[in-house]
Amino acid sequence: MTQSEYIPIRSKLPQVGTTIFTIMSALANECGAINLSQGFPDFESPPELIDLVATYMRKGFNQYAPMAGVPALREQIAAKIERLYGLPVLPDTEITITAGGTQAIYTAITALVQEGDEVLVLEPCYDCYVPAIRLCGGIPVHIPLQLPQYSVPWDLVKKMLSSRTRMIILNSPHNPTGAVLTPADMHELQHLVSGTDILILSDEVYEHIIFDGNTHESVLKYPDLWQRSIAVFSFGKTFHNTGWKVGYAVAPAFLTAEMRKAHQFIVFSVNTPVQYALAEYLKNPDNYLALPAFYEQKRNYFLALLQGSRFTFSPAAGSYFQLLHYDAISDERDTDFAIRLTKEAGVAAIPVSVFYNQPEQVNSRVLRFCFAKQNATLEQAAEKLLKI
Ligand SMILES: Cc1ncc(COP(=O)(O)O)c(C=O)c1O
């Protein structure tokens, strides 16, 4: 026994263990299963972008970047935001480059949520929100999205607001459900927070992965929301390089100033050559404007392959996740079914209940499949799923 095993630690996150993503990926490896569980592409980032990173490394851009991010990248991001959402943001004071969306989210919460503050979280939700709230002494208030479409129950949200509500966290396109917020949702939200001190943390990492002619409803499109929002983005999702961990936070200057106080001591600055490469690559808008069509084709291909299977589904409206319902196959709990699917059928997916605060109380029979995969991977997975 080492000395540290005798030192009592009171965990700040007693409920947190190994994430289901790690568990399912390990199980997928062990069983040689097709891994549609973790949300990352199994195809390459564009070679042109990789070459740009190598070029900037060779040119000697290898030391610390400025704390808020490389100015050229922040300028390109501002141009992109103005083009897409019609908002003129100030690169110097309103954009911060972060180590992925995760660090932007953690930094926003840690800088702006005080002990005892309530933060509204719509569930199922991405798994990094609640631990970040808890670590800074905030109180997560869980509100279930409304089935079958996983829409926001605005009446319930209104009921759950209190004098202690500091922040509402939104995510569109949504992980794990693929649902997207509509203009009507944004108007409801605007109405709800008007005249309050509530901040919005808007996780928009899948902004370019939206289908069927819908447009992404960013908080940056709504001036009344923008004044109180931190919007979070991720290049990893947009340019197929989740391992590079580069993203950004966009917020009005008074919020950005507070966030940067924390940012400089959490990470200080982010990968320099990658930032220069991204600045160059963003000059061509086609590099991100092509993304909805690219992923819509993948979604359609995956769903076409599943025709005739016993799984049922509504096509995902956005993100690179597709929910498949297995009510017609089994009445097992989703965690049990996901493990059996990996072991016996050879396909790994994520049970949706794990995205809830109390998974054991969720009795929907739904799994999340990631379709950011080569067509050959999707074909192999579908072939196995059709046999069930
Ligand atoms: C909804 C959502 N937000 C944030 C992130 C984190 O993004 P990043 O990998 O850039 O940290 C993810 C990644 O899966 C996500 O799905």
Q: What are the extents of the domains in the chain?
A: 3-45+289-386, 60-285
Q: What pLDDT does 2 receive?
A: 60
Report the candidate in 147, 150, 149, 217 with the shortest Cα–Cα distance to residue 189.
Answer: 217
The response to whether residue 171 sits with its C-beta less than 6 Å from ligand 1 reads yes
How far apart, in whole angstroms, are the C-alpha atoms of residue 34 and residue 377? 7
Sign of CA dihedral 46, 217, 162, 249: positive
The response to whether residue 76 sits with its C-beta less than 6 Å from ligand 1 reads no
For residue 125, which atom of ligand 1 is closest to its CA?
Answer: 1
CATH of 60-285, one of 3.40.630.40, 3.40.50.300, 3.40.640.10, 2.60.120.380: 3.40.640.10
Q: What pLDDT does 232 receive?
A: 99
Q: What pLDDT does 16 receive?
A: 87
> Cα(330) to centroid of ligand 1, in Å?
31
> Cα(298) to centroid of ligand 1, in Å?
20
The partner residues of 189 in beta bridges, in order of sequence, read none
Q: How far apart are the first and last CA of the chain?
A: 48
How far apart, in whole angstroms, are the C-alpha atoms of residue 372 and residue 101? 18
How far apart, in whole angstroms, are the C-alpha atoms of residue 258 and residue 177? 32
Q: What pLDDT does 45 receive?
A: 96
> Cα(59) to centroid of ligand 1, in Å?
30
pLDDT digits 0-9 by tens, 329-350: 999 999 999 999 999 999 999 9
**Token pair for 248:** 């950004």
Q: Ligand 1 atom 4: the closest Cα is on which residue? A: 101
**Token pair for 300:** 């359609």
Q: Can you name the CATH fold of 3-45+289-386?
A: Aspartate Aminotransferase, domain 1 (3.90.1150)
- 3-state SS class at 348: strand
Q: What pLDDT does 19 receive?
A: 79
- 3-state SS class at 12: coil
Q: Are strands 95-98 and 247-250 parallel, antiparallel or unpaired?
A: antiparallel
Chunked into runs of 10 residues, the chain (388 residues) has average pLDDT values of 75 86 89 93 96 98 98 98 98 98 98 98 97 97 96 98 98 98 98 97 98 97 98 98 98 98 98 98 97 98 97 98 97 95 96 94 94 98 96
Report the candidate in 11, 220, 230 with the shortest Cα–Cα distance to residue 111.
Answer: 230
The C-alpha torsion from 349 through 352 and 43 to 76, rounded to 10°, is -170
Q: What pLDDT does 35 receive?
A: 94
